[in-house]
Each structure stands twice: as structure tokens, then as C-alpha cells.
Amino acid sequence: MVNWKGIFKSWVGVPVLILAVLLVVWLLPGYKSWQIQRAYDKVEEPYYTDTYGGATPEETYDLFIDALKDGDIELASKYFVIYKQDDWLKTLQEYQKEAIILSFVEELENTKKIWKKSDKNTESQISFVYPNRVTQDKIVNFEGQEIKIPAGNYTNETVFTKYPSGVWKIELL
């Protein structure tokens, strides 16, 4: 049996100590990278498991409108990209409180009629552009700040992003 207390009193203990240090140094980066990969996978998981959305951007848009028509604003907010869902839920709750959901739905349906696919589309992101005409100057209250929108012709854009789960989500409306 090896006397561990006495092993370091002779030169035999030096190689054992060096091997132990090398083993720790060799294993530690692998353990850290495993932890990093595990944390990354946990952050990315919702993008792979999210099933709210359609097989096409148009289908996602229609599902969003249908949820609004049914009064299910929580479901409607899930058709947005993950990091915007909470903000859109609050916005839709405000629209519901002010009883303007149906006029919002009507605006969305009219918008889809004049959509044109943008030229800058990719495999994972598609946008639709549509004209918007403001006939007279407007003052809009946005997050407590009044913004003046002068009369004129504008181009608006609706952007969809494809998730790794295969569904399309609304990124910009």
C-alpha cells in the first residue's frame, strides 16, 4: 500500500503532483465549455420548441388576426418573436381596454391587401412593405412623448423571422 503522507518527501512525489496538476488543467476547460454550452442551450431552447406561428409569414399573420378576432390577446402576443411578446401583450391589453381591437384588426386586414414582398428577403427573414398616406399632420403619443407626424406618403414594413422550430414569427408590425 502506498504511503501518501510520505510520497511527497521524496522525488517520486514530484511527477505525481505534476500529473495531478496537468490532469486538472486538462479537464477544467472541458468542464467550463460544457457548462457554457449547457447555458447556451438553455437560452436557445425556446427558439427550437416554440410552435406558435405558421408555416409561412402570411399564415402567421392570419393566425394573429384570428386570435385578435376571438379576443384571445394572450395567444395573439405569442405570434411575435419571443423578446417582444410581453410588450405586445401589454399593448394588446391596452387596445382591448380602450375597445379598439376590432379597428386594429380591420387595419391589419386592409394592410395585408396592399402588401408587397420586399426585395431584401432572406431564407430566415421576410418583410412586406406597404404604402401609408397621412392626409394631415398628426400628433401621436408614444410612451409618454408626443410625436408629430407630418402629412405625406410613407412606406411601412412588416417583418417576419423564421425560428429553428420552423414557424414564422412577427418581428416588426
Average pLDDT over residues 105-122: 87
Residues 6+ apart with CB under 8 A from 76: 64, 67, 68, 88, 92
Task: Determine the pLDDT at residue 162.
Answer: 94
pLDDT reading at 33 higher than 80: no
Place of cell 477544467: 28
pLDDT score at 25: 66
As given in the structure block, the three cell numbers for residue 129 are: 412593405
pLDDT at 67: 96
pLDDT at 10: 61
Instruction: Transcribe 87-119 into DSSP letters.
Output: HHHHHHHHHHHTT-HHHHHHHHHHHHHT-EE-T
Predicted confidence (pLDDT) at residue 168 exceeds the cutoff of 90:
yes
* Residue owning grid cell 378576432: 69
pLDDT of residue 17: 66
| pLDDT at residue 5 greater than cutoff 80 | no
User: What is the pLDDT, as a whole number, of residue 88?
Assistant: 95
Q: What pLDDT score does 82 carry?
A: 93
Range from 57-61, 122-126, 130-134 that averages highest in pLDDT? 57-61
Answer with the residue of higher pLDDT: 53 or 135: 53
Cα(22)–Cα(42) distance, integer angstroms: 31
Residue range 146-165: mean pLDDT, rounded: 85
More confident residue, 45 or 3: 45
Of 84 and 148, more confident: 84
94 conformational bin, left if phi > 0, alpha if psi -120 to 50, beta if neither: alpha
Residues 30 and 149: beta-carbon distance below 8 Å = no
H/E stretch holding 152: strand 152-162
Residue 153 — pLDDT band, cuts 50, 70, 90?
Answer: confident
- What values do phi and psi take at 100, rounded to 5? -120, 15
> Whole-number mean pLDDT of the chain?
83
Percent of the chain residues past pLDDT 70, beyond the cut: 76
For residue range 6-20, list pLDDT tens digits in order. 555 566 666 766 777
